[in-house]
């Protein structure tokens, strides 16, 4: 009888290591995610659960089932190699997708009071004014892997000025996986007859696509586009919407040079507000961001400037 080869033993040990690695990374990612497991879009917790269960099953089987006594067929080796590679990619994605959670100012803004009602479900946060509601609503897309709640403090002044605000919870925290959410929000919030779409960083790219799609809609059109440290992926210079681009002079990700380079892709009447000393992470309350610049103003000051500019822009579309 032929004995198992060193290559087959190697595959077995790699499978064991990857499975154990999957258990450790998944458990660590769940711990690092914390409350976002219940406040984020359910897609991430499903990914965590599936990855953990599969990793545990593979780990148990690889250690409890005896090693094969004969060489594994070549075709099966190829399949094993592909599965191991895919497993490693999934585990790496689980770790990379750990979101940045909302911090104190945003969490405080998530509370309802006599002026604002805040509702939250698995796919969105809805903030409604208690008084007279403007016919202009705001739909906002977060930045990549950022807790949707992190934008509540910076957007709440819009609600206090009378505008409905909807913040999307993106599957896995990626805006490109949330491209259909604005269309659903339009259908769900009928008191709003005109919309401003906006987004931070990657979320702004999706918001620009929604603006291009719905700017000419016969019903509930998009009339405004609000960029937070962002710019469009395509040329939307001919789209008939009002545009406000708010950026930070110290942003290390959506740098001033990138904002300037994107100007030809926006309508000629687009307006620009630069928060002097502001950085990328100041457009939400979720802590520092890797690769960002160093701020020269406080986050409270930056938040106030961004919120004031946003309110003035959206209020200007009320007429």
pLDDT tens digits for range 182-201 = 999 998 887 899 999 999 99
Region 58-69: mean pLDDT is 74
**pLDDT, averaged across the chain:** 92
pLDDT of residue 72: 57
User: What is the per-residue pLDDT for 71?
Assistant: 59
User: Does 73 score more than 70 pLDDT?
Assistant: no
Average pLDDT over residues 138-166: 97
pLDDT above 60: residue 224: yes
pLDDT band at 6 (very low <50, low <70, confident <90, very high): low
pLDDT tens digits, 196-209: 999 999 999 999 99
More confident residue, 68 or 293: 293
> How many angstroms separate the CA atoms of 317 and 298, rounded?
30
Please give the pLDDT value at position 295. Answer: 98
Q: What is the pLDDT of residues 229-248, one digit of tens each?
A: 999 999 999 999 999 999 99
Q: Kindly state the percentage of the chain with pLDDT values over 90.
A: 81
pTM (2 d.p.): 0.91
What does the pLDDT average to over 63-77? 64
- pLDDT, tens only, 27-53: 999 999 999 999 999 999 999 999 999
**225/182 Cα distance (integer angstroms):** 13
The predicted model gives 307-311 an average pLDDT of 98
pLDDT of residue 80: 74
- Distance separating alpha carbons of residues 148 and 102, to the nearest angstrom: 8
SS (H, E, C) the chain: CCCCCHHHHHHHHHHHHHHHHHHHHHHHHHHHHCCHHHHCCHHHHHHHHHHHHHHHHHHHHHHHCCCCCCCCCHHHHHHHHHHHHHHHHHHHHHHHCCCECCCHHHHHHCCCCCCEEEEECCCEEEEEECCCCCCEEEEEECCCCECHHHHHHHHHHHHHCCCCEEEECCHHHCHHHHCCHHHHHHHHCCCCCEEEEEEECHHHHHHHHHHHHHCCCCCCCEEEEEEECCCCCCCCCCCCCEEEEEEECCCCCCCHHHHHHCHHHCCCCCEEEEECCCCHHHHCCCCCCCCCCCCCCCHHHHHHHHHHHHHHHHHCCCC
Specify the pLDDT at position 148: 98
pLDDT of residue 1: 41
Residue 276: predicted pLDDT: 98
Return the pLDDT at 64.
76
In this predicted model, what pLDDT tens digit does every residue of 89-123 receive, in sequence order?
Answer: 999 999 999 999 999 999 999 999 999 999 999 99
Per-residue CA distances from 38 to 8, 44, 130, 277 (Å):
42, 10, 27, 34
| Cβ–Cβ < 8 Å for 197, 167 | no
Using one digit for the tens of pLDDT, what is the confidence trace for 212-223? Answer: 999 989 999 999
Would you state the pLDDT for residue 81? 78
Q: Provide the pLDDT for residue 15.
A: 84
Residue 78: per-residue pLDDT = 77
Q: What is the pLDDT of residue 84?
A: 85
Looking at the DSSP assignment, which residues form a beta bridge with residue 228?
A: 200, 246
Q: What is the pLDDT of residue 69?
A: 58
**What average pLDDT does the segment 162-173 reach?**
97
pLDDT recorded at residue 220: 93
């Amino acid at each position: 009888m032929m004995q198992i080869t060193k290559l087959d033993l190697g595959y077995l040990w790699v499978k064991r290591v990857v499975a154990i690695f999957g258990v450790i990374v998944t458990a660590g990612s769940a711990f690092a995610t914390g409350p976002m497991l219940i406040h984020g879009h359910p897609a991430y917790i499903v990914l965590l659960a599936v990855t953990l269960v599969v990793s545990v099953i593979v780990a148990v089987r690889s250690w409890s089932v005896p090693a094969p006594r004969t060489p594994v067929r070549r075709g099966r080796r190829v399949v094993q190699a592909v599965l191991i590679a895919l497993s490693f990619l999934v585990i790496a994605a689980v770790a990379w997708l750990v979101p940045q959670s909302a911090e104190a100012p945003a969490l405080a803004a998530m509370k309802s009071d006599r002026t604002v009602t805040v509702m939250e479900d698995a796919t969105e946060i809805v903030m409604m004014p208690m008084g007279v509601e403007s016919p202009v609503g705001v739909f906002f897309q977060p930045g990549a892997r950022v807790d949707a709640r992190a934008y509540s403090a910076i957007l709440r002044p819009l609600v206090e000025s009378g505008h409905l605000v909807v913040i999307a919870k993106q599957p896995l925290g990626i805006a490109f996986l949330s491209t259909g959410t604005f269309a659903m929000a339009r259908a769900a919030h009928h008191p709003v007859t005109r919309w401003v779409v906006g987004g931070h960083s990657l979320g702004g790219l999706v918001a620009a696509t929604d603006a291009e799609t719905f700017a000419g809609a016969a019903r509930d059109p998009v009339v405004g586009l609000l960029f937070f440290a962002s710019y469009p992926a395509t040329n939307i210079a001919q789209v008939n919407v009002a545009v406000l681009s708010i950026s930070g002079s110290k942003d290390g990700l959506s740098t001033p040079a990138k904002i300037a380079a994107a100007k030809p892709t926006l309508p000629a009447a687009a307006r620009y507000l630069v928060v002097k000393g502001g950085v990328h992470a100041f457009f939400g309350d979720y802590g520092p961001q890797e690769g960002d610049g160093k701020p020269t103003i406080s986050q409270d000051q930056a938040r106030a400037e961004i919120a004031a500019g946003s309110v003035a822009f959206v209020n200007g579309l009320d007429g």
